[in-house]
């Protein structure tokens, strides 16, 4: 039930992503209200509640789902819980925004999609890059192209902790499979992938219009470098976007040759990085990333992490569209209309492509991708 004209949101999970993104963004939002926080750990609830005070807290997600005051459920847990929790939320009659991947398997993701369609409820998948300001400048430029695109995408960083043991194609590169499909606006039809050391992948995608895309993915890169780079070539035009902060446009009269995009601030962190990065671009951004990287190196060597840098999550500073994506879902719920977010079909597609890429690594062959697998 909307309160003060805002969409009342219940959050299942109070981990790092929720704190640095979804709960924090809802707390700042003019559209959303942090209504209920849920986590199985009381200390996580207490810590998050202190920063972003909710109306209610609970240790049992079923209590949240039964609450008639909750208009929208946001889920960000371990990937093996996403599909189950999304299905439970939909069964309870709640629209749901669930982090990627929608399901660990195509079967799981398809079950969510079919239930959302049956219930007539919005179900958004957290492919937030569709809402990044930089990428929203790029997409319209590609619509009237005369021929296929040639795309290069790099997504590379220094993964720590449990992320080092995950299947990166499923939990991280799925973002890139989705955003490339969104850019091209055609279905992927084949994939060829290779793997060096664990989670270092090169992926070649082909789309039904002849567009080709090359993806370099690594979890063994440096935190000091830009994490993501997009490069698109078509019709004698070129766009390059570096970490959502700087974009360069070549032979495109409607766009400046260089455009910079504002970064974001976080709870408890000074905002003194925002204006220098907006005015000067990558250099002050990379200087800040190096400070954070140096602090992590010292921490890995046994020293305590520098508390002055703990509120600078380096890979989250650039605006990748998280806040805009969740606001759009809240507006759709309030206005009782379909959301413009990536939906469950997009979630299925990303998992299908991930599976095909993993199969290609094993077989050493180009693997065909069947679009019928994500039709519901």
pLDDT digits (tens, 9 = 90+) for 235-253: 999 999 999 999 999 999 9
141 in Cβ contact with 230 (< 8 Å): no
Given a cut of 70, is residue 310 above it in pLDDT? no
Q: Which residues lie closer than 8 Å to 215 by C-beta, 6 or more apart?
A: 153, 154, 155, 173, 176, 180, 201, 202, 203, 204, 205
Candidate ranges 59-68, 167-176, 193-202, 285-294; pick with highest mean pLDDT:
59-68
Q: How confident is the model at residue 13 (pLDDT cuts 50, 70, 90)?
A: very high
Q: Per CATH, the architecture of 132-319 is what? A: 2-Layer Sandwich (3.30)
- pLDDT value at residue 306: 77
Assigned fold of 7-129+322-341: Rossmann fold (3.40.50)
Given a cut of 70, is residue 92 above it in pLDDT? yes
Question: 274 to each of 2, 230, 267, 346, 362, how far by Cα in Å?
Answer: 33, 22, 14, 33, 44
In the predicted model, what is the mean pLDDT of the chain?
A: 94
Q: Average pLDDT in the 5-25 region?
A: 95
| Residue the block writes with tokens 């046994």 | 302
Global pTM value: 0.95
28 in Cβ contact with 323 (< 8 Å): yes
- pLDDT value at residue 264: 87
CA trace torsion 192, 196, 197, 199 (10° rounding): -30
Q: 7-129+322-341 and 132-319 share one CATH topology?
A: no
Q: Average pLDDT in the 115-129 region?
A: 98
CA distance 183 to 161: 32
Q: How confident is the model at residue 316 (pLDDT cuts 50, 70, 90)?
A: confident
pLDDT digits (tens, 9 = 90+) for 25-41: 999 999 999 999 999 99
CA distance 194 to 201: 6
- pLDDT value at residue 299: 84
Which helix H or strand E contains 277, and what residues bound it? helix 274-280
Q: How confident is the model at residue 308 (pLDDT cuts 50, 70, 90)?
A: confident
Spell out the domain ranges in the chain: 7-129+322-341, 132-319
- Candidates 129, 128, 130, 78; CA nearest to 104 is 78
70 in Cβ contact with 26 (< 8 Å): no
- pLDDT value at residue 311: 67
Q: How confident is the model at residue 55 (pLDDT cuts 50, 70, 90)?
A: very high
Q: How confident is the model at residue 99 (pLDDT cuts 50, 70, 90)?
A: very high
CA distance 186 to 143: 11
């Amino acid at each position: 039930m909307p309160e003060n004209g805002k969409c009342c949101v219940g959050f299942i999970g109070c981990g790092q992503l929720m704190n640095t993104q979804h709960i924090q963004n809802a707390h700042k939002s003019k559209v959303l209200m942090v209504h209920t926080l849920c986590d199985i750990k009381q200390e996580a609830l207490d810590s998050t509640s202190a920063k972003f005070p909710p109306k209610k807290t609970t240790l049992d997600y079923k209590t949240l789902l039964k609450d008639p005051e909750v208009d929208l459920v946001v889920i960000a847990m371990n990937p093996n819980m996403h599909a189950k929790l999304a299905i439970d939320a939909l069964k309870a009659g709640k629209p749901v925004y669930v982090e990627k991947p929608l399901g660990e398997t195509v079967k799981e993701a398809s079950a969510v999609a079919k239930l959302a369609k049956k219930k007539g409820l919005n179900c958004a998948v957290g492919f937030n890059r569709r809402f990044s300001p930089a990428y929203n400048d790029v997409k319209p430029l590609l619509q009237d192209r005369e021929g296929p695109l040639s795309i290069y995408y790099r997504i590379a960083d220094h993964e720590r902790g449990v992320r080092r043991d995950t299947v990166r194609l499923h939990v991280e590169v799925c973002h890139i499979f989705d955003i490339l499909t969104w850019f091209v606006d055609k279905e992927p039809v084949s994939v060829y992938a290779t793997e060096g050391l664990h989670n270092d992948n090169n992926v070649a995608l082909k789309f039904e219009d002849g567009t080709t895309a090359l993806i370099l993915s690594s979890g063994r890169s440096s935190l000091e470098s830009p994490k993501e780079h997009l490069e698109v070539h078509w019709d004698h035009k070129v766009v390059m976007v570096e970490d959502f902060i700087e974009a360069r446009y070549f032979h495109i009269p409607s766009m400046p040759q260089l455009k910079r995009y504002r970064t974001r601030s976080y709870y408890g962190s000074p905002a003194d990085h925002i204006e220098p990065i907006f005015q000067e671009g990558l250099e002050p951004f990379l200087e800040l990333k190096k400070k954070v990287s140096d602090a992590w190196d010292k921490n890995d060597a046994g020293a305590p992490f520098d508390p002055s840098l703990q509120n600078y999550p380096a890979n989250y500073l650039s605006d990748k569209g998280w806040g805009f994506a969740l606001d759009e879902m809240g507006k759709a719920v309030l206005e009782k209309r379909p959301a413009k977010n990536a939906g469950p079909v997009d979630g299925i597609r990303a998992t299908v492509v991930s599976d095909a890429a993993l199969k290609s690594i094993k077989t050493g062959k180009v693997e065909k991708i069947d679009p019928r697998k994500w039709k519901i």
